[in-house]
Amino acid sequence: MIQSFEAKPPGLECVEEMLDFARKRWGVTIRQYPHWVLHKVLTGSLYNDGVDAGTLPKWDLRDIYTIAALEAGSRFVVTGAKRTDSIWRRRQLGKQWADVVYPIVGWNKFDVLSYLEMHKLPIPASSGRAATGVDLSTPSLLWLHDTYPKDFEKVRASFPYVQAVVE
């Protein structure tokens, strides 16, 4: 297992807006970690020329949860993962890690949207896909390009060939 992460996300405006809201509203500390797939994306030459695998630590979801709990000084990690997120997520939830709590595991996208509306919380910007967030999928990249062009340029700095999706 790796000991810590030094990678800093690129600070995308579409993500930071919601994180800033949470910081101000609830006074929370927000820690960001690389997605467990990032190692494969960087070393596998997805939208880039590839990175030497030996220069990057390799991590998995278990590593990220463990480091998050350690850095927060907590025995538990609470996540918003839901069975309806994806087939992969449903399979991952079957691992039943004792130190990971899934308070909305049985919810779907509309349950989450209803909760946000009921509590007058802003709905995060998204490409409209089943789960919110930014990834390197075609719909996400096109949405980012059209809606947050500065963020798209930040992504393009690390993944120069994402421009091909737009072209």
Is the separation of the CB atoms in 4 and 14 below 8 Å?
A: no
Convert the pLDDT of each residue in 72-131 to its tens digit: 999 999 988 898 888 888 888 877 788 899 999 999 989 999 999 999 999 888 877 655
Domain assignment of residue 161, yes or no? yes
Domain assignment of residue 52, yes or no? yes
- Strand positions, DSSP E, 40-129: 77-78, 100-101
Mean pLDDT in the chain?
86
Domain assignment of residue 1, yes or no? no
Is the separation of the CB atoms in 77 and 68 below 8 Å?
A: yes
Domain assignment of residue 19, yes or no? yes
How many other CB atoms sit within 10 Å of the CB of residue 134? Answer: 21
Domain assignment of residue 7, yes or no? no
CA distances from 134 to 34, 60, 129, 151 (A): 12, 19, 10, 10
3 state DSSP class of 51: coil
Domain assignment of residue 72, yes or no? yes
3 state DSSP class of 162: helix
Domain that includes residue 159, residue range: 13-166
**For residue 28, what pLDDT band results from cuts at 50, 70 and 90?**
very high
Domain assignment of residue 28, yes or no? yes
pTM: 0.80
CA angle, residues 68, 70, 72, in degrees to nearest 5? 65
What values do phi and psi take at 135, rounded to 5?
Answer: -140, -170
Domain assignment of residue 120, yes or no? yes
Q: How many domains does the chain have?
A: 1
